[in-house]
Structure 1
Amino acid sequence: MRRITFSTARTYIASALLGLAITGCAVGPDYVAPKPELAAFHNIDAASRSQSKPAPSLDQWWNGFDDPMLVEVVQRALAQNLDLAASLARVQQARAAAAGAGADLLPTVDFEGTATAEHQSAQSPLGKLASNFPGYSRTSHEYTLGPAASWEIDLFGGLRREATAAREEAQAAEADQAGTRITVAADAADAYLQIRGYQTRIGVAQDQIETDKRLLQLVRDRYNAGSATGREVAQADALLKQAITTVPPLRIGLEKQLNRLDVLMGVQPGTYASELGTPQDVPSVPPIPGDNSPTDMLRRRPDVIAAERRLAASNEHIGAAISDYYPKISLSGALGLDSLGTNHMFSAAAFQAVGGGALRWRLFDFGKVDAEVKQTKGANAEALAVYRQSVLHAAEDVENALITLSQTQVRLAEIQDQIEALTKSRDLSEQAYRAGSITLTDVLDADSQLLSAKDELDSNRAGAARAAVGVYRALGGGWEPDAHNLTASR
């Protein structure tokens, strides 16, 4: 039997510590990404039915509206929006924190230099003792110069767990930044579409005002000819004033959306208003991707990705807390020069080397480590619930956006048919009134119904386009996942 000496045992222990330092032994649970099971979207067919051309790319869905001004507005918002700039700054902070956490795994080397002058008290214990020696001087100087290094050996993976958690938090911040990008693009498009909707509705109201003016003149002519009553003149005048009163609320809504769009583009309200001053029709609704599955949505939705990355980070915090059950070993050393005077500072005799090691083990802390482990496990359970909830909210957003779009389009078609019937009814009513076969009340009713239907038509046209934007937003469109090093749930 081979006898193990102290020297041999010391070599074995040193080799084992070095092996652990190199290979590592990370305690705690290994992360396994959750795999949510979602059924296919039950409203996707209705929203994507009867499409004659292919759907635009989700990365830049705004190109599908075939509106150059809309494209310019969205791109300008993505380049200048201040919320997006702030989110990018948060990404930079998170990346810096991750880099700092990773640096904790490596040795730290400092370069230090000191110069000390001391005038010793003759009444202190040291001064009284030293004053008995010949040549004693109460004044002394000391100079040191050289590097010092320290290194905590990550035997049980606590530092590696924290570094991994910091990287995952940085990835969550990147996903949040992508989510902000999606929101900015969608909000800019929504404001633009509302602007076009308000402009169209104002145009309809002004056309109606002109129609009501002609009707009022017709009634006045009939009154002057003795074929109409003063009551009919007052009714026609009231209808005209009613049409006029519909314009101010529309102009208020238009101005608010113009101001909102300017702020989204990072400028003072009123900066770009003149560029959008010329009214244009609401762009037509582009095709909706009909092949998107819940799995595709989960891979694209930044809020889901961020929740999953924070869940992964919380798992790493558990391992970091568990590592405190085990001892921590650190090494330190210094090489340098130490001299009482500058004359011999750089001589061989002034050279000195210091090395040491330290062990810290939290053996008795009255359950503090237990409490920290329980706290991290509770945070992990919370993060898991938040992730699952984010998945459900994402699916809810998609279903709501799809049903809103499909039903708005159905309503739009119905209103168009209604306007054709109301237009025919109003023209016939006016002809019958001119012939004296019906009263003015019938004409006024038909005119009022037609105005309301036209306004509702333009409102629903803008609503359908905005609903399409909502679908693209809900599906996670507006960014390029391949350009980001993010791990999405699969």
Structure 2
Amino acid sequence: MLSAISRATLASSRDNTIGRLTRAVGTPRGYTEYAIGTQASWELDLFGGLRRGREAARDDLAASEASAGAVAVAVAAETADAYLTLRAFQARLGVARDQEANEKLLVSLVRQRFDQGIAAERELNRTTAELVGVRAAMAPLRAAIEAQLNRLDVLVGDAPGSNRASLVEARPVPVAPVPAGSAAPDLLRRRPDVIAAERRLAASNARIGVAVADYYPHVSLSGLFGVASLGTSTLFTGGAVQASGGAGLRWRLFDFGRVDAEVAGARGRHAEALAAWRGSVLAAAEDVETALARLGEAHAERANLERQVAALDRARTQARDAYAGGVTGLIDVTDANRELLAASDRLATVRAEEARSAVAAYRALGGGWQAANVPALASVAVDHR
């Protein structure tokens, strides 16, 4: 629809009869025309092409919104994963520092026994080497902590180092809750990537109808209504009214070969979208089942490691007391220290893996994303209208 209000200043030709007459009598050649009008046109959707085009556009919009939701969920999950990884490295560094303190006590004990002539120099060298080894293992942990701090800053949109002060202090890894659910279809509909693939499938189905509609004629109606006058005083009088109407027909009657190709292309894109949708559903089911399985196994491993660390801590204390009393050798103490360090380091890692598995499970189940104004998929079959 087009509406217009115009004022035009015109001049007659100097070379025609009226122009020569006006020059002879000295009358003005120019005049002003005032016009107001509106124009409208409609295409009759007799065979559903426009309706199917509108459906395709609506489904494309829903797919874009779901894709944006998938990106938001991915960024949130990546941020949570980076935070948990940071806390894991900090916990492992804390284990190494505790082990360093215990190795210092052992070195002091062996040095005291060496000074008294009870222990050999090789025992002092052995415990010193163990202490240096623990200190050397801290360097890659500190580097990993710095990397995760920078990673977190970038994920939240800040320059590296911006949030260091609030994160540099070590804190325990959060306890991982176990999300309820399975890879059921209703849970998979929470995933924005599945919804996006579903809406693209629906849009491709609607575009088949758009292509098929070109086999039929397209009828359009148009109309014009307005007023025009050489003066404003007579602009809205009956003599100034101008109105017209018309109808148009567009039919690709002699272009059916190209229409056939367009319909075949639309059906091919629909088949491709159907395969992509099926793949997204299978991948979503795999993600859910894998994440829940990893979460359950990490939970069981963490419980076993906690019992192992408690037992090894008691064994180390007993070995140290026995060594101080001269009942056992230094090798038993160093072995107990090494086993406790390895188990404690693994426990810190598994605690973080359990929490990260919970994050992966929530992400696999949709990450709390809510579909807004997403219609249900009516059909995945080829629609000929």
Q: Normalising by the residue count of structure 2, what TM-score does the alignment of the two structures yield?
A: 0.87
Q: 1:120 to 1:133 in 2, by over 3 A?
A: closer
How far has the Cα of 1:467 moved from its partner? 0.7
How far apart, in 2, do the equivalents of 1:302 and 1:410 lie? Answer: 31
Given the alignment, which residue of 105, 112, 127 partners 2:4?
112
Following the alignment from structure 1 to structure 2, what is the Cα–Cα distance between the partners of residues 374 and 322?
10
Whether 2:106 is the aligned partner of 1:220: answer no
Question: Where does residue 274 of structure 1 map in the other structure?
Answer: 165
Q: Which residue of 2 aligns with 1:401?
A: 291
Cross-structure match for 1:385: 275
| Cα distance, 1:438 vs structure 2 | 4.4
* CA deviation after TM superposition for structure 1 residue 453, in Å: 1.1
Offset at 1:410? 2.4
**Deviation for aligned residue 1:450:** 1.3
In structure 2, the residue matched to 1:487 is 375
Query: Contact 1:308–1:488 (CA<8 Å) still a contact in 2?
Result: no
Deviation of residue 204 (structure 1)?
1.2
Matched residues in 2 for 1:488 and 1:151: separation? 30
Q: Does the alignment pair 1:444 with 2:339?
A: no
Q: What is residue 322 of structure 1 aligned with on the other side?
A: 212
The answer on whether the counterparts of 1:181 and 1:478 sit within 8 Å (CA) in structure 2 is: no
Q: CA deviation at 1:322?
A: 0.9
The CA distance in 2 between the partners of 1:190 and 1:425, in whole Å, is: 35
The CA RMSD over aligned residues, in Å, is: 2.7
Aligned equivalent of 1:355, options 245, 255, 260: 245
Query: Given that residues 185 and 478 in structure 1 are in contact (C-alpha distance below 8 angstroms), is that contact kept between their aligned partners in structure 2?
Result: no
SS in 1 for 2:189: helix
The structural deviation recorded for 1:393 is 0.0
Name 1:284's counterpart in structure 2. 175
Q: For residue 374 of structure 1, report the CA deviation from its aligned partner.
A: 1.0
Task: Report the Cα offset of residue 162 of structure 1.
Answer: 0.8
**One-letter identity of the residue aligned with 1:247:** M
Which amino acid counterpart does residue 111 of structure 1 have in structure 2? Answer: S
Quick one: distance in 2 between partners of 1:157 and 1:112?
Answer: 32
Q: Which runs of 5+ in 1 are unaligned?
A: 1-108
Aligned-pair CA distance for 1:120: 6.5
Q: How does 1:123-162 map to 2 (within 5 A)?
A: 134-135=21-22, 142-162=33-53
- The answer on 1:174 being equivalent to 2:65 is yes
Distance change (3 Å), C-alpha of 1:437 and 1:320:
same
Per the alignment, residue 205 of structure 1 pairs with 96
1:6-37 residue CA offsets vs partner (Å, 9 max, x unmatched): xxxxxxxxxxxxxxxxxxxxxxxxxxxxxxxx
Q: How many residues align?
A: 374
Distance 1:432 1:132, change over 3 A: closer
Kindly report which structure 2 residues correspond to 1:7-156, keeping only aligned pairs within 5 A, or say none.
Answer: 109-117=1-9, 134-135=21-22, 142-156=33-47
CA distance in 2, matches of 1:135, 1:284: 98
1:134 to partner: Cα distance: 4.9
The amino acid that maps onto 1:386 is: A
Check if 1:306 corresponds to 2:196: yes
Q: Which moved more, 1:450-459 or 1:406-415?
A: 406-415
Aligned counterparts of 1:174 and 1:320: Cα–Cα separation in 2: 23
Which of 56, 69, 88 is 1:165 aligned to? 56
Using the aligned pairs only, state the percent identity: 48
CA gap 1:286/1:268 in 2 versus in 1, 3 angstroms: same
Give the counterpart letter for 1:328 in structure 2. Answer: H
Contact 1:311 1:380 in 2 (8 A): yes
Aligned counterparts of 2:308 and 2:176: Cα–Cα separation in 1: 21
- Deviation at 1:312? 0.8
Structure 1 pair 282/132, CA: closer, same or farther in 2 (3 Å)?
closer
Structure 2 SS opposite 1:287: coil
Is 1:462 equivalent to 2:359 in the alignment?
no
Return 137-146 or 301-310, whichever deviates more: 137-146
CA offsets, 1:206-249, max 9 Å, x none? 11111111111122222222223333222222211111122232
Distance 2:210 2:22 in 1: 57
Per the TM alignment, residue 173 of structure 1 is displaced from its structure 2 partner at its CA by: 2.3
> For 2:263, which of 355, 373, 396 is the aligned residue?
373
- Looking at structure 2, the residues matched to 353 and 409 of structure 1 have their Cα atoms a distance apart, in angstroms, of 80
